Structure formats: C-alpha cells, structure tokens
Amino acid sequence: MSLPDAIDLSHHLSQSSRKRGVSPLKGLQKYYGKPGLISLAGGLPSPEYFPFNVVSSEVLPKDHFPLKSSDKTTGLTWLRRILGFRNRGSTVAIPKYPKVQGDISLSTDLQYSLARGSPQLEGFTYNFSARVHKPAYKNFATMIDIGNTDGWFKAVTILCEPGQGILTSEWAYTTAIATIRPYGIEPVSVAMDGQGMRDDALRSVLSTWDEIERGMPRPHVLYIVPIGQNPTGVTMGLERKKAIYDVCVEFDVIIVEDDPYYFLQEGEYLPPQERSRKQEDHDDNDVEHFLSQLAPSFLRVDYQGRVIRLDSFSKTFAPGSRLGWCTCNPLFAERIERQSEISTQAPCGFSQSIIASLLLNWKFDGYIRWLRGVREQYTHRRDFFVDCLAERFDLIPSTSTEGIWSGSKVYIAYRTCNSPSNVKSTKLSSESQPLFSFVPPTSGMFTWLQMHFEHHPLFPSHGSKALETKLWIALAEAGLLIGPGSMFASEGKVQLRSDVGHFRISFSNAELVDLEKAVDIFASVLQTFHEA
Amino acid sequence: MSLPDAIDLSHHLSQSSRKRGVSPLKGLQKYYGKPGLISLAGGLPSPEYFPFNVVSSEVLPKDHFPLKSSDKTTGLTWLRRILGFRNRGSTVAIPKYPKVQGDISLSTDLQYSLARGSPQLEGFTYNFSARVHKPAYKNFATMIDIGNTDGWFKAVTILCEPGQGILTSEWAYTTAIATIRPYGIEPVSVAMDGQGMRDDALRSVLSTWDEIERGMPRPHVLYIVPIGQNPTGVTMGLERKKAIYDVCVEFDVIIVEDDPYYFLQEGEYLPPQERSRKQEDHDDNDVEHFLSQLAPSFLRVDYQGRVIRLDSFSKTFAPGSRLGWCTCNPLFAERIERQSEISTQAPCGFSQSIIASLLLNWKFDGYIRWLRGVREQYTHRRDFFVDCLAERFDLIPSTSTEGIWSGSKVYIAYRTCNSPSNVKSTKLSSESQPLFSFVPPTSGMFTWLQMHFEHHPLFPSHGSKALETKLWIALAEAGLLIGPGSMFASEGKVQLRSDVGHFRISFSNAELVDLEKAVDIFASVLQTFHEA
C-alpha cells in the first residue's frame, strides 16, 4: 500500500515563520555543486587553522549492558568505574582530513555547516525514524536539532503567536511551560488518566471552546510527552494515540510529541517474588521483536503529517551531546531549518562527528542493542526503587477508578508495622491511614507520588498545597531533594482533588545505595510529619 | 581608581524577558550545596550509561604558526597536511571520572549542566574579558553561548519587541538582519566612513527621529561589527568608539558589539616592495605589547554597562565548536541565561570539555600566542590576495573624501597594460576607465570592492544593481562565487551612489592557489563584461 504525502498545513505557520525567507546566502547554493567552483563568498575560516588534528573517544561496546540485569551488575558501580578503562570497548577517531572523501572529518564538521545537521547524522536519523517510528505518510523529513528543549522552542516559534494557547496534559513538564508563558502563550490543561491525556477530555475542551470566555482562539497546537510522561510517568498506548490523533484531525491541531524516554519502556513492575516469572528476553539479535514490543510513536498514526516528533540522544547517550532530531512534514522541517540558521546555526561539530562515528560504527542493529541494554539498566533501577518503597512501607494494591490513575494498578502505602516482613493484608491497612499512593511507572525516569494529607492535623487549616510545601522543605532539610508536585500543574493552579499533594521522584541518576538511603529519609520524615 | 557598577538598564528589557521567571527547578538550587544531599529532583540520566569513557584530541602546539610568516610557510599547505600528524602537538584527554574532584570530566560536562557554561570556561572567559577588553565598569559578567549568531538572537530576544527598529551600519551582515526582520524589527541604517558607523550620522538619525514618519519608536538598540566589519572590512578605532558610545549614552541606546574578527587585526596593507620595512614583531612573550596594538573593544569605554559584547571561538578555533561568550552587565547576563534555559540549554559538553581543556592547558599567554599565530596567517592571506589583484590590474592609490572610504587610502583598479610589470603611473590610468576600487582591509576576512559601472554600455538602460547581478552571474558561471553587494544593504535598498555596485570577497578560506586562480577569473570575466 502506498502511503499518502503530508497535507498542506501551511496555515499553521506563525507570522514570523512565514516572513522568514531563505537566507540570502542560500541563494548562492545552486552553484555549490558545480565542479571546480572556487567559492570566496562565505566568511569561512580555513580548516588549516583549526588546532584539532584528531578527536577521538574510547567508547563502551554496544553490548556493555546485559539484556537481563542482575542486582550484582548494577550494584557494583564502584568496581565498574575502576575497571571502566579495561572494558573491551573500541575507539572512534575523527581526523581533520579524511582518507576517503565524504567520510566524517573535522575539516567539515568543525566548519560552518548545514543547520539541518551533518549528512551522516541526518541519514542515520532518517533511516531510524523510518524503521522505528514508521510514519503513516511518505514525504517526512528529519532535522538534527540540539535537543528536545531546542526542538520544542523552535516548534513554538514556527507555529505560535502571542495570545494563543497550547493544549497540554493537566500535569506537564515545567520547562516546556516556562518556554511558552513569557511570550503570552498559555497552557490549556486537558485531563489525564492512566494513559495520559484523555481523548474525550481533549474533544470536550476543543468542542466547547469559547473564544470570548477563554480570551484566546481555540488552540491549534498540542504538546505531549506520551511515554514515561513527565512528571506522572504514565505511558500512552496505540489506541489512545489514535483517538487523540483523530480529535486533532477533526479540530485541525498540530501535535508536538516530545518523546525523550521512548527507549526507556521498562514494562510492568512486578514484586520481587513474581519477577522470576517475567518472560525471558528474546534472542539478542531479534531487533524487530524488540521494536514491536514498544508503544509506537504518534507518527505511526500520522497519515496527514501533523506530528512534529522530537527524539533525543540525551537519555540514551548523554545530555551534554546537545543532539536530537525532529521528524515532521517537509514544510515544517524547512521552516525549522530557517529558524536554526539565525539562532543555533549547525549543531556542535565535535558532538556531531563523535555521535555519527559511533552510530555508523555500531549501525542500526548495534544502536538498538545499546538502547536495549540501557533500558534494562533503568528497569533495574525502577524495580530497585519500588522494592525500597515496599520494604519501608506496607503497599496495598488497589485499582483506581478515577483521576490520573483510572484503570491502573495503584499501590497505597501505609506505615509499616514492625513485623519481620512487610506482609500485605487488608486487615492491617484498615487500622491506619494511607500515607501516599502511586503507580509504578512502566517507562521513563519518574515515580509520581500522590500524598494523602486529609488526615494530617493541619489539613483543615492549611490545605494540601501548604502541606506539600511543608513536607517538601522538611525532606530537603533532612537531606533529600525531590520535585514538588505543584510545580508541574500545567495551568499553575492546584488540581482537581484538594486533599492530596504530589511529588516527582527520579530514580534515574542516584547511586543505588543513595536511592535506598533516600527512601529511608522519606519514611522517617513522613512519620515525623504526620505525628506533628 | 575604582570603577563604577553598571547603571540600571532594566527598562530596556522586552516584555517576554521581564516575564521570564527563574525556572521553577532553579528554586531548588539553594539546597544543592548542602553536604550529603541526595537529589532525586532532576530528570538526569546516570553518567554510568554515557558510552564515552574518554574523549581526547590531538592538538597543534600553541606556537604552530610563526609570528612572521613567509610565503613558503603558508604556501605549502599540502605538505603541512601530510606532515600534520607529526607536528609536535599534544593531546588533551577528558576522562569520564576525573582523578581530582573539580577537574574537567565527561560525567559533568556530558550531563545536564548550567546554561551559563561550565565553570572552567566561564572562569577563563571572564578573566580573558577582564585582561583583554578591560570593561570600564566593575560588575560585568561573562556567559558562554553557542556562537555569536546565538548571542545576537538572544540579545534581540531579551531587548526588543516587534515594531521596533535596530540601528545598523548602512552595509551590514545579512544574517544579523535576517534574524530580526521576520519579527517585525526593522534595521535603521546609519552612514559609514572608513572607520565604519559615523557618530555624527548616528546622532543625526536619533536627534531627528520622527516616530510618526518612521512608523516606530526611536531605536534603543544598536548592532555593530566594529573590527573587520562584515561586509566592508573597515575597522573602528578607540576615538570613534568613544564618540559613538557618547551618543548612545545621550539617547539611551544599548550597543551589541558582534566582534568575531577581533584577533584578525592584520594591520595596514603594504605593497610587497615596502613590506620588508614593516616593523618586526616584538618579543614572542610580550603579551601586553601585542594587546596594546589592537583596537580596543567598546567595553573599554563602557562605564555604564550598556554594551553586550559577543566573542567567538569560531574564527580562532573552529566554527563547529559552537562556542562563544558574551560580556555584559549582570542583569542582561541573567536574562540571557534564563533565555538559554528554555532554548539551547547548556552549550555542547564535548565542545566545552575539549575547548576548556585546551585553554587551561595553554593558559592565557598560550592562547594569546595561538591568536597571534592565526592573525599572522590571515595577514599573509590578505597580503597574498591584494598582491594578486595588484598583479592582474593596475592599482592607482588615491585618497577618498566621501562615502564609506572617506579618509582611507583607496586603490583604484584599471585594466593592466601588457607591460612587463604593473608599474603605477597616473598617466596610464587617465587613458582608461576605472574598473573597481577598494581599500585593503586592516582586519577580518573580507575585501569589499566598489565596482564602477558608469562607463558600461548598458549602464544608462540597466542601472548599477542589474549590472552587479549580471556580473555576479557571469563570475559564477565562470567558476567564481563571491558575495553580491546588494545582499548586504541593511535597509534592503540600493545605497547612496547609483553608479556603483559592490562585491564582498573572502580571502579567508580558499587555498592560495585558488585565490590566485579566482583573481584570474575575475580579471578575465571583467574584461569580457566591459567589452559587451
């Protein structure tokens, strides 16, 4: 079946983006391919004067992390550090002048170069998006950017005007909101459930939009982190994406899919005793099987080209690479490229040459193998962190029917009785009050806790927001810094339920021993807090 | 004498910049220094999963380029390339985990990090600005950015609103203009002479500003490339800067000084026969003497903190480093930092770690030595290119009293008689018509040619702009690409004199043999062109 081309979405472009012409120097480029052409047009320094003869990096092997992690593997961080240099890694080296023309070189990558990224990196990401995300239209393009924050800023710049609104989940990534607000672009909150944004809620917001009452036109852009959502950790499946997409077609909305945690799809949390039952991973080489297990991108249902997908190397290689890419229709890609030319210019050449060399060396299958290893590491971290909570609290499973965890298996945490083991029984729980509840995330880096304040002695006088802050300060004073939930309320106001507070806890970065210590601090501060 | 602090310039901030608060996560930072604090607040990946154990670069020695270049040195490019790897260079290597805490490391630089740049790089650039540019106020700050295009874009973002104007030279850098126009910010042209923007012209524009007639308020921002101006190549001395600055104080204007060519101050062009008279360079180690010879920055006269100076590593190390820094008052620096946090985030970590390692290795004096070597290389290129013109044309020196070369020594080029040597004589010149004229640049990368079209047979019917384009196309078709002058007209309209056209020719990048070939093509196409 042949796929359609993207439809014409040019009416979504902002005033400034429409006015942004092809840079005058670009007009000269039709001559660039001419054999033997001498160009004295650009203000380029001579690569002779780049002081770098070679840049190289000793890199870990693609299968450095096992596909089935044991506690030992990840626990022995200090040992790995010491032995780090003895790993059977390899070296990627980029010379100033390549032996073979067209090979990655410093004379090219450290020179002024294309805003859309190096040809090698653009080629790799194009192929990657095609094979992994499989857009439902034909003429998509990929453009290297300098990370998803940059990608989001540029998407807003080419699409939005001051005085407009952008649809977001009710809980949303603070930096994404901080990007738009100063320009007079307001987040418009849409209710969530256990899969993230609800399509019925989205339809309701759009179909009942009253321009006068809301003080702005009906939003035409939607921002979403669909996998391991920041801050709630929830993940959206294909059916929900299809439903959201259909609403966006109906109301002519552009979707910006910010998906940095795509490859951290850790799967369902199982308590330790059940974990051995977990199905063994397939054959190491079965790339297609691995990809088929992942919740697909919005691109998979994007038959009109109305999705701008943001992928990043920040979570899979390193944030300091400042490299990511967007996949979108060719019109938007071209406008983003023009926007890059007058701001960020080309991505960093050191980064492009090192990352591209590594990827060309590993090839598609090798990079997938690396991603699977990294996913396994984060899965182990997620398991370890939830295990720690299960050790310090009594966790009673329950099924929620309302709010952001509607339809999910929720754990309600109670103060543990000093019994030798944290046996769960409904009898025990009924004797005390719930402290917090959460759904172990199936993707990403965050655990989102709903804190129960309704039985706190100060609740009637202070309310939940003040108690959240009070508890947050008590934790910080005791040596544990976590994200206060109110910070992530997309419209800046306290959400529906007034008897709860929230915290976002990241299990992605700390040493495991510190994760354990953190849960100890949390348990002890929480006890004192409720006794106060 | 103790210097003053910057005055309050907060009324210059744009609406969006005023509204941009401290990012919510920043509020958590007061706890960051707390010893033993466990932070599970940020969405940081674990550096364990960065696949890079070490990044290293083999670098040229700081004194790789001699301080007195001979023709042979630069001509033998191919030989240097072959021998490149045998140069007595050194290697900078950045480990993932440093042996000494606080040393440059990949675990820090490849992690999410400060938008203002790494502490090492910020420290180096602060010290550099203090010693080299010597701001005339006390509390200046430096901020790493990702090159001057990024710095300019951010300066515009924090200072300007749509519907405002920005003061520029009558000829200006196209990308800087392309940055502002789509936002409805218009360039306001100020006349130039041989030192660039004229202070009397600036005062005249500002003092006679008619908001109704111009359709916008009096501009409060001035954009300037003061050294090796792009495109005209002219350089502004201290007295003129002082005069411009005083006008800016009087009319409350912020100066954005975009100065990438600062260290390419090549000095006066001397014909080959006079060149041996050129004063020998001072002692290699006399850093202060070298610095004292350079035209100072606007910062030197900036006693109020109204200059945002943009420095770049693009022309001194490599454009692909995507690193530069701005020096300005602490209020503007903080606003630029906030702007970076929601767009570019931190500069690339590969670049920061490599460049900072090199700079800390070379230290201040070593970097200055490198800059002097590079300056010498570009001086040689400038000399070589002008020598080529002198060989293909008869160049008659003259002193201009009007227009952008007022006060400069101008060479007027005539068709050469097939005499054995290009002896200059006024007798010879009077027999033919001038083809073009130029002032050999004393800084930067560009030669700006004024093309004389008044005697061209098509001039009466076509005018100079059409002839400029016609000639430009003829040159491109013959294999020589140069910058058409009309592209650099800041207000987009043909300038004062209608009998001339312009070209910008860059001598910075091509192999010397190609520079020579380029002048051959130029001479031959020009001959045919005028015969047509």
pLDDT in tens, chain A (532 residues): 699 999 999 999 999 999 887 655 556 666 766 778 999 998 999 999 999 999 999 999 999 999 975 544 444 555 555 554 445 679 999 999 999 988 999 999 999 999 999 999 999 999 999 999 999 999 999 999 999 999 999 999 999 999 999 999 999 999 999 999 999 999 999 999 999 999 999 999 999 999 999 999 999 999 999 999 999 999 999 999 999 999 999 999 999 999 999 999 999 999 998 887 555 555 667 899 999 999 999 999 999 999 999 999 999 999 999 999 999 999 999 999 999 999 999 999 999 999 999 999 999 999 999 999 999 999 999 999 999 999 999 999 998 777 788 888 999 999 886 544 444 544 444 457 899 999 999 999 999 999 999 889 999 998 898 999 999 999 999 999 999 998 999 887 655 567 889 999 999 999 999 999 999 999 999 999 988 6
Helix residue spans in B14-134 (DSSP H): 15-19, 71-75, 77-83, 106-109, 119-128
Dist. CA A330–CA B114, nearest whole Å: 33
pLDDT at residue number A423 = 43
Segment B217-221 mean pLDDT: 98
Contact call for B40 and A65, based on CB within 8 A: no
Eight-state DSSP code of residue B33: T
CB within 8 Å: A515 and B80:
no
Inform me whether the pLDDT recorded for B279 exceeds 50: yes
Structure tokens at A113: 């170069």
Question: B308 lies in a domain?
Answer: no
Out of B37, B50, B342, name the one closest to residue A149 (CB).
B342
- In this prediction, residue A428 carries a pLDDT of 46
Domain count, chain B: 1
Q: What pLDDT score was predicted for residue B287? A: 93
**B335: pLDDT confidence band, cut at 50, 70 and 90?**
very high
Read off the CATH number of the domain in which A508 is found.
Answer: 3.90.1150.10
Beta carbons of A23 and B175 less than 8 Å apart: yes
User: Which of B17, B49, B65 is the best mutation test for A, with the most CBs of A within 10 A?
Assistant: B49
Measure CA B269 to chain center. 20
pLDDT in the model for residue B425: 45
- Identity of the amino acid at A354: I
pLDDT at site B349: 98
Asked if A40's CB is within 8 angstroms of B505's CB, the reply is: yes
Yes or no, beta carbons of B46 and A84 under 8 Å apart:
no
> How many angstroms separate the CA atoms of B345 and A76, rounded?
32
Which ipTM value was assigned to this complex? 0.93
From B176, which residue of chain A is nearest by alpha-carbon distance? A342
Q: Would you say residue A337 lies in a domain?
A: no
Is B90 a domain residue? no
Residue A32: per-residue pLDDT? 64
Mutate which: B38, B185, B520, vs A, most A CBs within 10 A: B38
Residue B327: how many CB atoms within 10 A of its CB? 26
Within a domain: residue B442? yes
Least CB–CB distance from A40: residue in B25, B48, B482: B482
Sheet-wide strand order for A483-484: A393-399, A409-415, A434-438, A446-452, A500-506, A483-484
Structure tokens at B426: 């006024």
**Cα–Cα distance measured from residue A196 to residue A169, given in angstroms and rounded to the nearest whole number:** 7
User: What residues of A are in contact with residue B25 (Cβ under 8 Å)?
Assistant: 174-175, 483, 487
Structural domain includes residue A62: no
Are A350 and B321 in contact (CB < 8 Å)? yes
Each residue of B500-520: pLDDT tens digit? 899 999 999 999 999 999 999
Q: Which residues of chain B make contact with A40, given a CB cutoff of 8 A? A: 480-482, 505-507, 509-510, 515, 518
With beta carbons under 8 A apart, name residues in chain B contacting A45: 314-315, 318-319, 445, 508-509
Distance CA A496, CA A501 (A): 11
Averaged pLDDT of chain B: 90
| Residues of chain B found within 8 Å of residue A31, distances taken between Cβ atoms | 476, 481
Q: How many CA atoms lie within 13 A of A332 on its CB side?
A: 33
E runs forming strands in B25-131? 38-39, 52-59, 90-95
Per-residue pLDDT, A491 = 84
B60 contacts A58? CB cut-off 8 A:
no
pLDDT higher at B150 or B283: B150
Pick the closest to residue A448 from A234, A129, A217 (CA basis): A234
Task: Choose, out of B40, B78, B323, B343, the residue to mutate when testing the contact with A (most A CBs < 10 Å).
Answer: B40
Q: Report the largest interatomic distance among the alpha carbons of chain A, rounded to a whole angstrom.
A: 86
pLDDT at position B241 = 98
B504: Cβ contacts below 8 Å, ≥ 6 apart: A41, B230, B231, B446, B447, B448, B449, B482, B483, B485, B488
**Could you tell me which chain B residue has the CA closest to the CA of A506?**
B40
**Can you give the pLDDT at residue B334?**
95
Paired sense of beta strands B90-95 and A446-452, if any: unpaired
Residue B34 confidence (pLDDT): 75
| Nearest C-alpha neighbor of B353 from the set B60, B116, B56, B46 | B56
Is the predicted pLDDT of residue B394 greater than 80, yes or no?
yes
In B, minimum Cα distance to A485 occurs at B41
What is the least distance, in Å, from the CA of A69 to any CA of chain B?
14
Q: Is the pLDDT of residue B30 over 90?
A: no
Among candidate residues B273, B276, B196, the one with its CA nearest the CA of residue B442? B196
Write out pLDDT tens, residues A447-471: 999 999 988 999 999 889 899 999 9
At CA B149, angle to CA B148 and CA B154, rounded to 5?
Answer: 90
Q: What is the pLDDT of residue B71?
A: 43
Q: How far is B430 from chain A (nearest CA, A)?
A: 31
Q: In the prediction, which pLDDT does B402 show?
A: 76
Residue A474, class by beta-carbon neighbours within 10 Å (0-12 exposed, 13-18 middle, 19+ buried)? middle
What distances in angstroms separate CA A219 from CA A158, A309, B294, one per listed residue? 15, 19, 54
- Residue pair A191/A212 in contact (Cβ under 8 Å)? The answer is no
Which of B42, B174, B352 comes nearest A24 by C-beta?
B174
Residue B416 is assigned to a structural domain of this protein: yes
Q: Residues of chain B with pLDDT > 70: what percent?
A: 89
The number of residues making up chain B comes to: 532
Contact A153, A17 (CB under 8 A): no
Residue B336 has pLDDT above 60, yes or no: yes
B449 contact partners, CB below 8 Å, separation of at least 6: B436, B437, B438, B485, B502, B503, B504, B505
- Please tell me the predicted confidence (pLDDT) of residue A274: 87
Residues of A with Cβ-Cβ distance to B507 under 8 angstroms: 40
- Distances in Å between the Cα of A435 and the Cα atoms of A193, A452, B332 are 21, 5, 45
Q: Do B52 and A48 touch (CB under 8 A)?
A: no
- Could B52 and A354 be called an inter-chain contact, meaning their C-beta atoms sit closer than 8 Å? yes
**Residue found by looking up tokens 């409060």 in the block:** B220
Tell whether B448 is covered by a domain. yes
Residue B69 bridge partners (DSSP):
none
Q: Note the helical H segments in B191-313.
A: 199-207, 211-214, 238-250, 272-275, 287-293
The residue of chain B nearest to residue A83, with distances taken between CA atoms, is B53
Give the integer Cα–Cα distance in Å for B109 and B107: 6
- For B497, the domain range is 380-531
For residues B425 and B409, the model is more confident at B409
End-to-end CA distance of chain A: 66
In this predicted structure, what is the pLDDT of residue B176? 95
Given an 8 Å threshold on Cβ–Cβ distance, is A45 in contact with B319? yes
Task: Out of A47, A57, A481, name the one closest to residue B39 (CB).
Answer: A481
Q: Is the peptide bond before A35 cis (omega within 30 degrees of 0)?
A: no
**Minimum-distance CB partner of B44 among A182, A351, A508:** A508
Q: Which of B40, B153, B350 sits opposite A481 (nearest CB)?
A: B40
* Residue B39: Cβ-neighbour burial (10 angstroms; 0-12, 13-18, 19+): buried
Q: Do A149 and B345 touch (CB under 8 A)?
A: yes
Residue A263 lies in a domain: no
The candidate with the shortest Cα–Cα distance to B158, out of B270, B290, B19, is B19
Provide the number of CB pairs (under 8 Å) joining chain A to chain B: 375
Strand segments, DSSP code E, in B96-244 are 141-145, 165-169, 186-190, 192-193, 196-197, 221-224
In chain A, residues with a C-beta closer than 8 Å to the C-beta of B24 are 174, 178, 487
